[in-house]
Amino acid sequence: MRIGLLGGSFNPAHKGHLYISNEALKKLKLDEIWWLVSPQNPIKSISAPLKIRLDNARAVAKGHNIRVEDLETRFKTNLTSKTLNHIIKRYSGSNFIWLMGADNLTEINQWFNWKNIFNTMPIAVFNRGVYSYSVINSIAGKYYFSKLHKTKDSKSIFKKPLPVWQFLHINKNPLSSTMLRMQNNNRQEK
């Protein structure tokens, strides 16, 4: 099986996550997507409890080829590098690809053991707002520029030696969890 992994706080999950997931399913010819809801992002504060975020993510993903998982809680880590190593070991019969927005690639160098992420599985980066213009000039973009998979046959990324990553052009979706939280806070203040 080919499985796309989309990690994050999902604070809250929304149609933007769904859109990226469905695009990944099509463009990368994936069998399914796993949303990995983090108990606590080490570089962000999270306002909603994990159970609420999991329930919300399951409601958003319902009816789609998406599994919502709390693997980081079960693996007792909130570090992507460690989580991906656990997944590779536990589900060794599947091929995985890490899915992320361009905004995350511009800051991935701040993540724990970030180079290990590139050496664990292929990475698909989706264009996202103004961040898309700074991907190649980001620390990770420059470091792994020679490993950029430049082909329209996106599913062939699974046949390439690691590290390998691809930038996927999709119609930009303006939704973000931050924007949704701000709108919700504004409604509550009124």
Mean pLDDT of 22-42: 94
Listed in sequence order, the residues at least 6 apart from 61 whose beta carbon sits closer than 8 Å to its beta carbon are 13, 18, 21, 35, 67, 68
| Residue 180: pLDDT band with limits 50, 70, 90 | very low
Domain ranges of the chain: 2-189
Whether the predicted pLDDT of 75 surpasses 70: yes
- Can you name the residues that pair with 8 across neighbouring β-strands? 37
Mean pLDDT of 165-182: 65
Residue type at 176 in one-letter notation: S
Q: What is this structure's pTM?
A: 0.87
| Residue scoring higher pLDDT (133 or 23) | 23
- Give the C-alpha separation, 59 to 82, whole Å: 27
Class (C level, CATH) for 2-189: alpha beta
pLDDT digits (tens, 9 = 90+) for 99-148: 998 888 989 999 999 999 999 999 999 987 665 567 888 999 999 999 99
- Give the C-alpha separation, 60 to 12, whole Å: 10
Question: By C-alpha distance, which of 108, 94, 96, 159 is closest to 138?
Answer: 108
Is 149 buried (19+), middle (13-18) or exposed (0-12) by CB count in 10 A?
middle
For residue 39, the 8-state DSSP code is: S
Residue 155 has what pLDDT?
85
Per DSSP, the chain holds a count of helices (H) and strands (E) of 8, 6
Residue 131 has what pLDDT?
56
Three-state SS sequence of 93-148: CCEEEEEEEHHHHCCHHHCCCHHHHHHHCCEEEECCHHHHHHCCCCHHHHHCHHHE
Residue 174 has what pLDDT?
53
